[in-house]
Structure 1
Amino acid sequence: MFQKNAWYVAATPDEIDGKPLGRKICNEQIVFYRGPDGKPVALDDYCPHRGAPLSLGKVESGKLICGYHGLGMGSEGKAVSMPGQRVSGFPCVQSYPVEERYGFIWVWPGDKDKADPELIHKLHWADNPDWAYGGGLYHFNCDYRFVIDNLMDLTHETYLHPTSIGQREIEEVPPTSRMENGSAITSRFMHNIMAPPFWKAALRGNNLKDDVPVDRWQICRFFPPSHVMIDVGVAHAGHGGFEADPAHKVSSVVVDFITPETETSTWYFWGMARNFNARDQGLTDQITSNLSKVFLEDKEMLERQQVNVERTRRPLLSLNIDGGGMHARKIIDQLVSEEQSTS
């Protein structure tokens, strides 16, 4: 169950540079490529001639050439050429609204008349030289809502990520959850604790002591249709925690674009944006590598969770730590219900 009249991250720009990319988004099989003006194009991944996947073709001068018989497709989904054949009367294939912004390729898989680029989630750090970003892409064989649940309740870090970001103080401090302006927010603030290994490394990366007590924060924000942004960091204890002067802290935004492929599979675009020592590419690479290992631990757990849920069909139970995920699911349910009632 997912909203289709919404902008989803579909790819990173490098994935469509000089070649087509086939990717299923919200059960829509789409081919992405760059058109003659260099802008991204998104079409139904279907050749109108014999039904071959257009993503198995190539791009020539901004025209998508089918890899089966050489039919050329224009950026509006119209067949425009084929060696020795007349194809101008072929029906158009569906095109999708697509935008390149903030270092991502975004697609609107629903009603194209409702696609407003101004609705794309704004990333304040993306075009700011004082911020650095590193991330990647994973394919999860699970319901995208399981990924949202995971990110909106970080209690699991104590058990699933004990050698990197987990520590017992996380489960000792109860989170607070609320809904605000169509989003869901879960917060946890820990005071006068020692930093876990990941954050010790981050402190060293900002030339700060890593062997002194810190205040740690986790502020998870869900935005529809399926984005989770998490303010995370540590500051030397006694300097104001989340509000501390940058000279005393390391803070970042964990970026999570969770794009449904099907009801039981997900494209997970993950990363971390930080505003300390932003020009140190080595530090960016180190953080990205360490973070990728964390998300791989999530991947194994969530995929096994999906198998178990499908096997037993038992209802999921909720506790107070699940408040953020429950709020997020309530928002999703409402938006999907509204969309279906007007379709």
Structure 2
Amino acid sequence: MKQQTFPKNTWYVAAMAEEVVGSKPLGRKICGENIAFYRTADNQIAAILDFCPHRGAALSLGYVEDGLLVCGYHGLKMGADGKTQAMPLQRVKGFPCMKSYAVEERYGFIWVWPGDQSKADKSLIPHLEWAVNPEWAYGGGLYHIHCDYRLMIDNLMDLTHETYVHASSIGQKEIDESPVSTEVNGDKVITSRFMENIMPPPFWQAALRGNGLADDVPVDRWQICRFSPPSHVMIDVGVAHAGHGGYQADAKYKASSTVVDFITPETETSIWYFWGMARHFKPEDQALTDSIREGQGKIFAEDLEVLERQQENLLAFPDYDLLKLDIDAGGVQSRRIIERIIAEEITQQAVEVSEKPLQVITF
């Protein structure tokens, strides 16, 4: 049996809301599940298995008509509940029901629960204050990356690599010269790094200017990475003019943001990476939002080749025992939480199977 490598009874970001519009469905693989997303007649989001029960065609290659998903192969019409509703000149009442998925549109994203739909609880979707508070601005994007989703979590929970991978934008030698602290609080992991009285790198110089602050003076800088299952990482980052309290400084002395990272497994070795930055200063400045998004997009693009080549190496050397240093603690602790959640899911599945009544067949 194939080993389970990601939690499935949980909420993942499957798409940005603007990716599913009009009569065109979106096909996307999430946690190994081929899913067709589309909008019903009342513009609600729906998600069903991307598989036509007639000949196995991908339903996402079809179109939406009168709130039904029409297969682009022979015209079969599927409802949001996975039941076939109609097909030209055919009787469809006995067609098997396809799997449907719990799905929710919230905060500008489409969230999906790839596991047991009966266990889906919408209250478990994390609250995103920056998405509903007008004092914040957000800009982001999406990358498809060929790597294990846990490699991206490792990358984000240890920002030491910034000195080397992002040397021209956010990297500086003071990052890997500053100690990192890691703490675990239930299912959450937090890694923190604070740097005092340093010069800001190019990206943060631009952010200071964008907030009307001097960019050529020493600053205090912080990086606080927060992992939460199944694979979300939010990072509080920023700089403040030195001597004014650093992370706790008054807003008039600093430029700070939250780096948003939703990492959604596609397969064991590929991900959908939804990235962005939520800014708590000058939210009305759309030009600044666009500029930050462009700069951040280039920064994250620098990680792509590193992660994909890393994945290739790990597949080529599956028995190599990777070294673990103190800077890796955030990723290691995050993986332990993921492993525990997967183990709990597997145990629960076994219990549910054992509790099913035996079917008695008489002859």
Aligned residue in 2 for 1:106:
111
Letter in 2 for 1:317: L
Q: How far apart in 1 are the matches of 2:9 and 2:57?
A: 27
1:50-199 equivalences in 2 (<5 Å): 50-199=55-204
Gaps of 5+ in 1: none
Runs of 4+ in 1 over 4 A off after TM superposition: none
Q: How far apart in 2 are the matches of 1:61 and 1:190?
A: 57
1:175-254 equivalences in 2 (<5 Å): 175-254=180-259
Partner residue of 2:343 out of 301, 318, 337: 337
Aligned residue in 2 for 1:30:
35
Q: How far apart in 2 are the matches of 1:70 and 1:316?
A: 52
Aligned residue in 2 for 1:282:
287
Q: How far apart in 2 are the matches of 1:84 and 1:247?
A: 69
Partner residue of 2:19 out of 1, 15, 20: 15
Structure 1 position 323 matched with structure 2 position 329: yes
Q: How far apart in 1 are the matches of 2:93 and 2:145?
A: 40
Q: How far apart in 1 are the matches of 2:187 and 2:146?
A: 28
Q: How far apart in 1 are the matches of 2:343 and 2:194?
A: 35
Q: CA deviation at 1:36?
A: 1.9
Gaps of 5+ in 2: 350-363
Letter in 2 for 1:63: L
Aligned residue in 2 for 1:263:
268
SS at structure 2 position matched to 1:125 = helix
Letter in 2 for 1:278: P
SS at structure 1 position matched to 2:130 = coil
- Identical-residue share of aligned pairs (%): 66
Q: CA deviation at 1:131?
A: 0.5
Higher-Rg member (1/2): 2
Q: CA deviation at 1:61?
A: 2.3
Q: How far apart in 2 are the matches of 1:122 and 1:340?
A: 27
SS at structure 1 position matched to 2:81 = coil
SS at structure 2 position matched to 1:121 = coil
- After superposition, what is the alpha-carbon deviation per residue over 1:10-66, rounded to whole angstroms, capped at 9, x for unaligned? 001111111100100000010000112211101000011111000000111221110
Aligned residue in 2 for 1:298:
303
State the TM-score, normalizing by the size of structure 1: 0.99
Q: How far apart in 2 are the matches of 1:327 and 1:142?
A: 19
Q: How far apart in 1 are the matches of 2:148 and 2:104?
A: 25
- After superposition, what is the alpha-carbon deviation per residue over 1:220-266, rounded to whole angstroms, capped at 9, x for unaligned? 00000000000000001111111111111011000000000011111
Letter in 1 for 2:339: D
Q: How far apart in 2 are the matches of 1:268 and 1:82?
A: 37
Letter in 2 for 1:14: E
Q: CA deviation at 1:342?
A: 1.1
- RMSD over aligned CA atoms reads 0.7
Structure 1 position 273 matched with structure 2 position 273: no
Q: How far apart in 1 are the matches of 2:167 and 2:45?
A: 41
Q: CA deviation at 1:75?
A: 1.0
Q: CA deviation at 1:181?
A: 2.6
Letter in 2 for 1:292: G
Give the paired residue count: 343
Q: How far apart in 2 are the matches of 1:281 and 1:316?
A: 44
Q: How far apart in 1 are the matches of 2:91 and 2:321?
A: 56
Letter in 1 for 2:170: I
